[in-house]
Amino acid sequence: MRLKFMRNGIQKQNYTLKTCFYLAIISALILVAVFKILSYDDTDDSTMCVYQVGKKVCDFDDEVDLSKPEFAYVYMNRLKAEGKSIRSVSVAKIRKNMPLYTKKHKAQEETYISGLLNSKILEVRISDNEVAAVIAQCPHNTKTVIDVRYFGFENGKWLNYGNDVFGNMKRARKKFVSIAAYYSKAKIRPEVMDDEEQYLKPYVDFLNLNAEQPHEYVMNILRTYPLVVDLTPFYVPTLIRGLSALSVVYCWS
């Protein structure tokens, strides 16, 4: 009896040890999964090209070059510092909504211009060679902010696609992931229409030759194809209810 009791005790102890061992393994796996989730960086993308620059706008040559996103960023900052609009170097989608001229900053003109020319380009991120972001440190009053200028590749040039301002690099990179996804999905590659009237002329000529007024078109259709309205779904239920009511009255009478 005593041996049997000891054997049961040993078996229970082994069972407890196995349970603790399995729980330890499961806990370790959960911790690894949580660590992976917390350390996951959604800015990593195999289709994205990232390179560092580390130069200020004023350090670049004074020339117009839109062949690379950082060169386009430099040119646009210089245009803004001169009080000029960047409408002409923006993608077609936003160009029509941009002002032709930029308001000058009178009260803080020197600080504003200095901030534009002394913006330090930290890195460039390009997705699928069609949308890019230039991330720069920009002096702004008493603090430094992260200025992000987006670019779309149109007609062999990197053109302005808007910008954002953030407090740190991580948020800037994360926002570009969503911008790149939207740009890639929408495939914003509109053709610039130089002459709208000339473009629409063949369609207008066709309509003038073949089209007719709306009411005439409708009447011709009605003459050719007789209009038949099926009222059965409306009358049959009413007829059934009426017959039912008559049968009830007849039975009671």
Structure confidence by residue, pLDDT tens digits, 125-176? 998 888 999 999 988 777 889 999 999 999 899 999 989 999 899 999 999 9
151 lies in the same domain as 171: yes
Residue 227 is part of which domain span? Answer: 196-246
62 lies in the same domain as 114: yes
98 lies in the same domain as 133: yes
11 lies in the same domain as 135: no
pLDDT for the residue numbered 92: 85
Q: Taking every pair of C-alpha atoms in the chain, what is the biggest distance, in angstroms? A: 111
Question: Domain for residue 224, yes or no?
Answer: yes
Residue 238 has pLDDT above 90, yes or no: no
Structure confidence by residue, pLDDT tens digits, 14-57? 556 666 666 667 766 676 655 554 444 444 555 688 999 999 99
Question: Domain for residue 191, yes or no?
Answer: no
In angstroms, the CA 214 to CA 25 distance is 76
3 lies in the same domain as 104: no
Most confident of 95-99, 152-156, 198-202: 152-156
210 lies in the same domain as 85: no
pLDDT for the residue numbered 2: 47
122: left (phi over 0), alpha (psi -120 to 50) or beta: alpha
- Name the DSSP letter for residue 52: E
E-strand ranges in 57-92 read: none
Q: Which residues of 186-223 are buried (b: 16+ CB within 10 A; e: fewer)?
A: eebeeeeeeeeeeeeeeeeeeeeeeeeeeeeeeeeeee
pTM: 0.56
182 lies in the same domain as 87: yes
Average per-residue pLDDT in the chain?
75
In angstroms, the CA 39 to CA 17 distance is 33
Domain count, the chain: 3
